[in-house]
Amino acid sequence: AQTVTQSQPEMSVQEAETVTLSCTYDTSESDYYLFWYKQPPSRQMILVIRQEAYKQQNATENRFSVNFQKAAKSFSLKISDSQLGDAAMYFCAYRSTTGTYKYIFGTGTRLKVLA
Amino acid sequence: DTEVTQTPKHLVMGMTNKKSLKCEQHMGHRAMYWYKQKAKKPPELMFVYSYEKLSINESVPSRFSPECPNSSLLNLHLHALQPEDSALYLCASSQGASGGGWKETQYFGPGTRLLVL
């Protein structure tokens, strides 16, 4: 069975600085999808960035980028030029390309942005 | 439009009440999900509907009863709940087809915050 681990329960970053959130996963599959979701306090969960495992190029979305290390089964999220609005719980998620539509979520990392 | 809507936003119910949560999407997605989320925890999958058929039931107690009347609507019927069922209930949808990473992206609704007294 696949597992997703986020080893940092909480992180802090100064406004305008860069922060990296860690995510590791365990799977025997060769093809899968990985996601980072953001959930601000009392607000909706939204997609931040996604990565297909067959793509070697790391995904980027404006200030958000990932470092995808397939062999190491690592999928970290880098947030550049952090803003107060980035404060949220961040969840890493895994989804197989086969079988059921089940997503596996990590336990989350709470990011605080300091002014 | 990547919107999933959920009603009501908040719900307070007693342990003998019957209530329903509603979820709607108009993105043409064919997979819809119910999750339960406790504070500061990740979402826990409850049910998945694929093409209006129940494809995953994560051993959820029978006091939760899902229903998918059509491809745009997903309901969760609640009956005789316990205080420990108090949580945020999230609905999500995805394309439900294979062939591309973006199609597997789940889009979440804002959730219904449920309090069982």
pLDDT digits (tens, 9 = 90+) for B49-68: 988 999 888 889 999 999 99
Q: Specify the range with the lowest mean pLDDT, choosing from A52-56, A66-70, A100-104, B24-28.
A: A100-104
Shortest distance, CA A17 to any CA of chain B (angstroms): 25
Whether the pLDDT of residue B85 is over 90: the answer is yes
Of B96, B102, B111, the CB nearest to A50: B102
* 8 Å CB contact of B106 and A103: yes
* 8 Å CB contact of A97 and B90: no
Mutation for testing the B interface, residue in A8, A101, A105, A111 having most B CBs under 10 Å: A101
* 8 Å CB contact of A101 and B96: yes
Burial class (CB in 10 A: 0-12, 13-18, 19+), B109: buried
User: Percent of chain B scored above 70 by pLDDT?
Assistant: 92
Shortest distance, CA A33 to any CA of chain B (angstroms): 6
Spatial separation of the C-alpha atoms in residues B23 and A52, rounded to whole Å: 28
Whether the pLDDT of residue A24 is over 90: the answer is yes
Q: Where residue A55 falls among pLDDT bands split at 50, 70, 90?
A: confident
Q: Where residue A7 falls among pLDDT bands split at 50, 70, 90?
A: very high
The token pair that represents B41 in the structure block: 């925890």
The predicted model gives A23-45 an average pLDDT of 92
User: Percent of chain A scored above 90 by pLDDT?
Assistant: 77
Q: Which residues contact A50 (CB under 8 A, 6 or more apart)?
A: A33, A34, A35, A36, A59, B101, B102, B105
